[in-house]
Amino acid sequence: MSTNFKLKRTDAASRGFLATARLSCIFFVFFVRIFVYIAVIRGVSVDSQRSLSPCRQCGQTCSMEFDSKEEGRLYPLLRKQVNCENIMHRMAFCPFKTIRPPPRKPPPKLMRNYTMDGHCVFGGLWYVDNSAPSAKLSYNASRFNSLLTRDGRGVDVNPYHDKRKVKPALESYPSAIKGKHVAVIGTEVPWLEAIVLNLGADKVTTMEYRNLHIEHPRVSIVTPFQYAASFLNRTAENFDSVVSYSSIEHTGLGRYGDPLMPYGDMEAIAQIWCAIKPGGYLFLALPVSGGRKQCILEWNAHRIYSYFRLQHLTANFKVLEEIATRDIARQTLYVLQKVE
């Protein structure tokens, strides 16, 4: 009887262990399925999340390092190594810290990188706080078609009021626009979308952080996070050309609730480089200093560029043209072509 009793206790313990094991397996499978489901919802495969580290290295993009330098039209063409998977992974998954409201002065520990070891000067404070979450920006068919019609009639639809420089510049590169897939980076008023559609773009993708809606059959909206995730998942479309106007110079300064990143503008251009097809075009408008010799940080409004910072910003792009827009924001338009 004693032996039978021990056997019964052993059998009961075994059944209890097996039941616990089965339950553990069920929970494991359940959580794996939840994980995969979340990954699919975010548009990212499990493989693209395989790194245990949330942030990968930015590499030469976020530095003054480069592999080689050759003569360029306005300034040297720098060739830097760009790991597109790492760059997009940083956008999609890095838990960069944001500060709201943004600091009124640049953090001392970041000043060296913000000024590129003294190559850029601190031009004083121009503090702007646009970090509060924005309300949804909506352009229904009627409102957007009004922009299309006005631009088609020759009315200046650029809120910065360029002196009829931007549209002719785009028009002079039909192989970059007509029948092509064009991306617009950063939109408050979709005037660039209207212009490129009127110039014959087949499809326009607007890349914008805020909640945006543009009602037009050939316009789609995507956030940078969504595009980076789809790039990693091999489902993103690459663009024939990209247009950015008065956007890049703000990146990384915290003004719009973005993380403080001294090289944020350079990382943004590297992301664009990764998203453009080989030989594709970038039409980039930003403020430059007179004489192009002085790079200025006006905290936290924007950067003003010199040729020194521009050569790092536009690494792996060939400069085709420099066009003064004479607009109210002192923007200069650069026509650039991707090189491998």
Instruction: List, as one string, the DSSP characters of 4-59.
Output: HHHHHHHHHHHHHHHHHHHHHHHHHHHHHHHHHHHHHHTT--GGGG--SSS----G
What does the pLDDT average to over 157-171? 95
Residues 6+ apart with CB under 8 A from 53: none
Q: Is the pLDDT of residue 49 over 50?
A: no
Other C-beta atoms lying within 10 Å of the C-beta of residue 118: 8
Cα 306 from chain centroid (whole Å): 22
Confidence of residue 124 (pLDDT cuts 50, 70, 90): confident
- In 3-state terms the chain splits into helix, strand, coil percentages (rounded to 5) of 40, 25, 40
pLDDT of amino acid 95: 86
Residue that wins the pLDDT comparison between 243 and 36: 243
Confidence of residue 292 (pLDDT cuts 50, 70, 90): very high
Confidence of residue 25 (pLDDT cuts 50, 70, 90): very low
pLDDT of amino acid 133: 86
Residue that wins the pLDDT comparison between 18 and 247: 247
Q: Which residues partner with 338 through β-bridges?
A: 317
Query: What are the structure tokens assigned to 154, written together?
Result: 């020759």
Q: Express each pLDDT in 245-285 by its tens digit.
A: 999 999 999 999 999 999 999 999 999 999 999 999 999 99
pLDDT of amino acid 271: 98
Supply the mean pLDDT for the chain.
87
pLDDT of amino acid 145: 98
pLDDT of amino acid 1: 41
Q: Is the pLDDT of residue 183 over 80?
A: yes
What does the pLDDT average to over 113-127? 95
* Contact (CB, 8 A) for 327 and 160: yes
pLDDT of amino acid 215: 98
Residues 6+ apart with CB under 8 A from 22: none
What does the pLDDT average to over 46-54? 43
- Percent residues over pLDDT 70 in the chain: 84
pLDDT of amino acid 246: 96
pLDDT of amino acid 195: 98
Q: Is the pLDDT of residue 16 over 60?
A: no
pLDDT of amino acid 173: 98
What does the pLDDT average to over 41-69? 70
Helix ranges, 97-245 (H): 111-114, 141-152, 166-171, 174-177, 191-198, 224-232
Q: Is the pLDDT of residue 213 over 80?
A: yes
In this prediction the pTM is 0.85
Q: Is the pLDDT of residue 186 over 50?
A: yes
Confidence of residue 214 (pLDDT cuts 50, 70, 90): very high
Q: Is the pLDDT of residue 299 over 80?
A: yes
Whose structure tokens read 């008023």?
189
Q: Is the pLDDT of residue 217 over 50?
A: yes
Q: Is the pLDDT of residue 110 over 90?
A: yes
Residue that wins the pLDDT comparison between 41 and 210: 210
pLDDT of amino acid 166: 97
* Collapsed DSSP state (helix, strand, coil) of residue 206: strand
Please report how the helices 264-275 and 84-93 are oriented relative to each other, as an axis angle in degrees rounded to 10: 120
